[in-house]
């Protein structure tokens, strides 16, 4: 089966009838194919999705039903350009924030001074101080996947890049805690440092408001209770 275009295809319909886009592990391995501009067109022409992709859609649909929100397009982290080097100085978003927030002079991994090796950073999530950059992750306070399901799925790639690199939505945190948090919102995860929780809730809500993101009703009820509890504590 020959490709219908000599340019790099966006979607390949394999000889076995499966539509592979560029996120598919089989995309580059598929040599005999018909090319299409989108998965939707490929399916219209008789193709089908890989089983893994179908399972992902089923899972996302179930999550939407469980959470009481509309189904949105599948989240793909590659759609959210992050850790950019916008000023072309070889230091990306992560390393610029490491430099900016270190409480002592940083040391770099090489003479090019692109990547930070060590410094001193306070992590409010854990209430601990770290000196090695590898002990820290750059956390999106409002996670990308969380935003995706609450209004951001319709954003352009440029809007997603702005959100993913917005310093107001970034904080250096202990790597293990960032991974524990995952894509959870404040109704499902709060920092273990109790003294920081109300500030975290306020910060999370500020970012949600800045980007006109909306909680689903079940989340909003919990968020309202958390905000009320914090107001009583001050």
pLDDT tens digits along 63-117: 655 555 554 567 788 889 989 998 899 999 999 999 999 999 999 999 999 999 9
199 and 233 in contact (C-beta within 8 Å)?
no
146 to 185, 204, 225: CA distances (angstroms): 7, 11, 20
> pTM value?
0.70
Dihedral angle over CA of 197, 199, 200, 205, nearest 10: 130
Of how many residues is the chain composed? 234
- pLDDT (tens digit per residue) in 119-178: 999 999 999 999 999 999 999 999 999 999 899 988 999 999 999 999 999 999 999 999
**In 33-126, where do the E strands start and end?**
33-36, 107-108, 116-123
207 to 82, 91, 122, 212: CA distances (angstroms): 17, 25, 21, 8
């Amino acid at each position: 089966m020959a490709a219908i275009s000599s340019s790099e295809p966006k979607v390949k319909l394999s000889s076995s009838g499966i539509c592979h886009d560029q996120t598919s592990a089989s995309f580059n391995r598929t040599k005999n194919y018909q090319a299409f501009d989108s998965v939707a067109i490929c399916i219209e022409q008789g193709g089908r999705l890989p089983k893994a992709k179908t399972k992902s859609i089923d899972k996302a649909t179930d999550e939407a039903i469980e959470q009481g929100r509309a189904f949105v397009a599948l989240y793909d982290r590659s759609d959210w350009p992050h850790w950019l080097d916008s000023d072309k100085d070889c230091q990306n978003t992560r390393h610029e924030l490491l430099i900016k927030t270190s409480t002592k002079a940083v040391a770099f991994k090489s003479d090019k001074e692109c990547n930070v090796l060590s410094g001193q950073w306070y992590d409010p999530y854990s209430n601990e101080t770290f000196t090695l950059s590898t002990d820290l992750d750059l956390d999106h306070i409002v996670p990308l996947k969380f935003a995706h399901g609450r209004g951001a799925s319709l954003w352009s790639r440029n809007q997603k890049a702005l959100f993913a690199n917005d310093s107001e939505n970034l904080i250096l945190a202990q790597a293990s805690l960032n991974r524990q948090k995952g894509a959870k919102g404040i109704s499902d995860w709060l920092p273990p440092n109790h003294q920081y929780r109300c500030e975290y809730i306020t910060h999370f809500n500020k970012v949600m408001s800045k980007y006109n993101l909306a909680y689903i009703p079940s989340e909003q009820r919990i968020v309202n209770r958390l905000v009320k509890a914090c107001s009583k504590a001050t």
